[in-house]
Amino acid sequence: MKKLLAICAVLAMTLSAGKAMAADVTGSWTTQMQTQDGNNTTITFNFKQDGADLTGTVQGPMGDPLPISNGKVDGDKLTFDVSFNGMTIHHTCTVDGDTIKMSTKTDSGDFPAMELTLTRVKADAPAAPAPPTGATATPQPQVL
């Protein structure tokens, strides 16, 4: 009986640690989407996660950013909506490190369902430190 209780305790700790270690999706994520004319365009998702709540915007090549609504995070799963031109697009996502697999759908026949892969935008590496202010080079003697 003690072994069974110990096993259950270990399983409970493992499962709760998995939830605690769920990735925070806060930041910028990009994907390429093919337009109706066959060209590719970049779409940027800017997420802000606060516990289970997800807010942010979606920015396409034209126009102002569109706000995310109904955003929820549950472990490695995300759901949110984006509305424009009287249409709402529902997004269902799975996070795996720096990649998000996204499925979209809408009730409108004008916008087909899509499968997209988002990639986290990495922050630029810090620049090398500048030399101290007022530093001067030491003159070198000239040899004649």
In tens, the pLDDT along 95-107 reads 999 999 999 999 8
pTM, full prediction: 0.70
Give the range of the structural domain holding residue 84, as residue numbers without chain letter.
24-120
Q: Is residue 115 part of a domain?
A: yes
Q: Is a pLDDT exceeding 50 seen at residue 121?
A: yes
Q: Is a pLDDT exceeding 60 seen at residue 56?
A: yes
Q: Is residue 142 part of a domain?
A: no
Instruction: Tell me the two tokens of residue 6.
Output: 């110990």
What whole-number distance in Å separates Cα of residue 101 and Cα of residue 70? 18
Q: Is residue 60 part of a domain?
A: yes
pLDDT of residue 11: 43
Q: Is residue 72 part of a domain?
A: yes
3-state helix, strand, coil in the chain (%, to 5): 15, 45, 40
Q: Is residue 15 part of a domain?
A: no
Q: Is a pLDDT exceeding 60 seen at residue 111?
A: yes
Contacts of 81 (CB under 8 A, 6+ apart): 68, 69, 70, 71, 88, 89, 90, 91
Domain count, the chain: 1
Q: Is residue 69 part of a domain?
A: yes
CATH of the domain at 106: 2.40.128.20
